[in-house]
Structure 1
């Protein structure tokens, strides 16, 4: 008997956990900071409804009706001569998941390293803190392996007792940490200007077309669409699940956490300015990796005795966000090995994680030539191209027993949604692909 989620809440927390990753905590605030502040936030909220939720619904719909891993589900719904294309795209999803997990575990290991580094400082373990904060091959290999083992341990326990149970624990913890950090950062001098920049839109910025393209790209990536994670989660839903409502719930929780991340990071940047920390690179605010590993640690260092506690809480928050994503994405190759190669869950988990480990360790050993290339290949090419293909499958290739086509009959709004998925969303996704890739 195929595994399934035990509760609706468990699915929502697990699916939102898959979507809530490092991109929400550092990617979204960076986009906000450098694309008009409140104006970007306003556009982003609109784009979530126009593009991201329909694309999320399509990926979950494919998994729910395919009732299998991406290879089998996409082949099943890509009817006729398109079946080999669907199977190939599904296999690319499995490969893409392994590649994504290879670099994601490295970055997740860095998050855990920094969290432990602040603990070492609190106990005045200077040599340990120096080892943790100063990058080395031994450190990166060790903590990448540690995070891989943690991911594998959760996935090994299955859907209900592993992914669902731990999502119910990790997601509330993440939200509590996020809210606590917002309250503290909001009390610092300069933070109020950050709140104003974030929450009060400059409507003149809405004339900039780059805001719309950036918002579409961020909305799509924020919901973790395009590598089969949401598809495999959809396949574990019981028959008759209300996918429309579930898609809205997952998107709402993911967007809410991204919004909270903005409430933390943007005021933190302005608090940093007040404390004399350099937060700009030219005319733009520093973002993503440099923001996390350079700017914010300077801010924490400027806080005095409370700084190590804030730093620890922040990097534990990022570690949890990373783990909720890795356990979801790891299920893609694991499910493929279980269903296509007839392996037990234990053997499939070990095989998948060992494969990812080889890729991850290769990236650590040959960081300069490989890391950036793999990140670009997955995030700028595979994700948007897979998203376009999901829309084409639901809108065009899936003809017999097409769920959306069946339920749309006699309903103006569902018919409009079907046309939106067939025509508008693929065009918008193509624009996202062109903008991110070229």
Structure 2
């Protein structure tokens, strides 16, 4: 019996869900950390350039591939490559599938930290000192408790499908996320030291803009923030109705995601300087202490120095981070779940629990080898796999896929010129960036 695909029921639901997939720890955890370590305003300027020159076209191509195929990434890429080599397309789909599992393996650990820290202020309010020490500490036991909790929370939404699960929860969580973010920025702006943080973030040092490390970090962050390169957007694009205005929806998703990343910088970087003003050591040798663990290395100290109001701010902030975590984990989990349902005839319930188990095993491997594996996995994933898969999508849409590719059927107009940009400019730009970095290193 043929499988009937679920789908988004409204444009707003799609935009909020796709933006939710993009708006996550990559924006609120990763983006400010990268900005602080790469020149603040200079990184912001390069990031915006990368978004418009590369990430936005990559977002469109990924959504477009899924929308046209109305299938999961493995099937969509295999179809796009059917005239050249279906096995190559399918292999790329499997790489994206594996990338989604890898991303979820470290992402779920960090999401578990967010959940733990969101409960910590409640423990402090109740004066449960031993619980506070456990929740705010760094232990294997805590990781093995909260990582599965986040996986179960994600699975509970995925089990309900696209309309009743992903779309319904995205419509609830995304407005709440934005409200909490704006409220925290307004409060942080009133504290001593915030003004210096705003200046560092908003005023670029143009001498740093040509730094190859900054450029590759900006490109990796842009692709990570928009959840590009693993198939999240491809599967969401496949759930759209066939007659939707894809360019308009693509722009809406990218702008909402980029706006949240910008707002996250307005919150986190001033918070870093507020913490410094309060005597917290923030930088060492020009780099943030903790780097990837910035939020847990610095901000809790800041909140502790704020007294009772700090507990409320800490609670609000980590609830915000937990929401951002969930909106992203559901999109990545949907990729292997849809693959198992469509390609192997699994029921959604069976597929969801199998994928959850595989992710838990992968996360457990990282937890048990944390010191050397965690940062390595994140670095390889964000700086290499995501941009290289984006390059593959450009080649697929621009050069390989002909039959059914509407971009190649347009003889004039905006679609035609965009097709030429995807064919020629985007691959050249991305290749040039990688060559520049290789030479510099």
What is the TM-score of this pair, normalised by structure 1?
0.95
Q: How far off is 1:355 after superposition?
A: 1.4
2:419 paired with 1:422:
no
Q: How far off is 1:135 after superposition?
A: 2.3
Q: Distance in 2 between matches of 1:264 and 1:410?
A: 44
- Asked if structure 2 preserves the Cα contact closer than 8 Å seen for 1:18 and 1:325, the reply is yes
- CA 1:436–1:311: 2 relative to 1, 3 Å: farther
Q: Distance in 2 between matches of 1:386 and 1:290?
A: 26
Deviations 1:292-322 (A, max 9, x none): 1111111111111211111121111111111
Q: How far off is 1:203 after superposition?
A: 4.0
Q: How far off is 1:180 after superposition?
A: 1.1
Classify the secondary structure of the residue corresponding to 1:81: coil
Q: Distance in 2 between matches of 1:409 and 1:152?
A: 45
Matching residue within 242, 261, 264 for 2:245: 242
Q: How far off is 1:56 after superposition?
A: 0.3
Matching residue within 192, 211, 214 for 1:189: 192
Matching residue within 152, 171, 175 for 1:149: 152
Structure 1 stretch 149-158 or stretch 116-125: which is displaced more? 116-125
Deviations 1:349-405 (A, max 9, x none): 111111111222222233335434433443233212211111111001101221111
2:223 paired with 1:220:
yes
- CA 1:43–1:92: 2 relative to 1, 3 Å: closer
- Asked if structure 1 preserves the Cα contact closer than 8 Å seen for 2:223 and 2:382, the reply is no
Q: Distance in 2 between matches of 1:262 and 1:245?
A: 26
- CA 1:254–1:2: 2 relative to 1, 3 Å: same
Q: Which runs of 4+ in 1 moved over 6 A?
A: 435-438
- Asked if structure 2 preserves the Cα contact closer than 8 Å seen for 1:409 and 1:415, the reply is yes
2:340 paired with 1:337:
yes
Structure 1 stretch 428-437 or stretch 299-308: which is displaced more? 428-437
Q: Distance in 2 between matches of 1:141 and 1:397?
A: 44
2:40 paired with 1:34:
no
The within-5 A match list for 1:37-48 is: 37-48=40-51
2:390 paired with 1:387:
yes
Q: Distance in 2 between matches of 1:262 and 1:370?
A: 27
Q: How far off is 1:210 after superposition?
A: 4.7
Q: How far off is 1:433 after superposition?
A: 4.8
The within-5 A match list for 1:135-214 is: 135-206=138-209, 208=211, 210-214=213-217
- CA 1:6–1:118: 2 relative to 1, 3 Å: same
The within-5 A match list for 1:39-438 is: 39-206=42-209, 208=211, 210-286=213-289, 288-406=291-409, 408-411=410-413, 413-433=414-434
Q: How far off is 1:205 after superposition?
A: 4.2
Classify the secondary structure of the residue corresponding to 1:189: coil
Q: How far off is 1:237 after superposition?
A: 0.3
Q: How far off is 1:58 after superposition?
A: 0.4
- Asked if structure 1 preserves the Cα contact closer than 8 Å seen for 2:220 and 2:384, the reply is no
Classify the secondary structure of the residue corresponding to 1:80: coil
- Asked if structure 2 preserves the Cα contact closer than 8 Å seen for 1:384 and 1:433, the reply is no
Deviations 1:64-122 (A, max 9, x none): 11111111000001132321100011112112211211111111101111111121011
- Asked if structure 2 preserves the Cα contact closer than 8 Å seen for 1:217 and 1:432, the reply is no
- Asked if structure 2 preserves the Cα contact closer than 8 Å seen for 1:385 and 1:433, the reply is no
Deviations 1:217-262 (A, max 9, x none): 3222221100000000000000011111111000000000001001
Tell me the matched-pair count.
Answer: 436
RMSD: 1.9
Structure 1 stretch 363-372 or stretch 301-310: which is displaced more? 363-372
Q: How far off is 1:32 after superposition?
A: 2.2
Q: How far off is 1:272 after superposition?
A: 1.4
- Asked if structure 2 preserves the Cα contact closer than 8 Å seen for 1:384 and 1:432, the reply is no
Q: Distance in 1 between matches of 2:343 and 2:290?
A: 41
Q: Distance in 2 between matches of 1:404 and 1:430?
A: 23
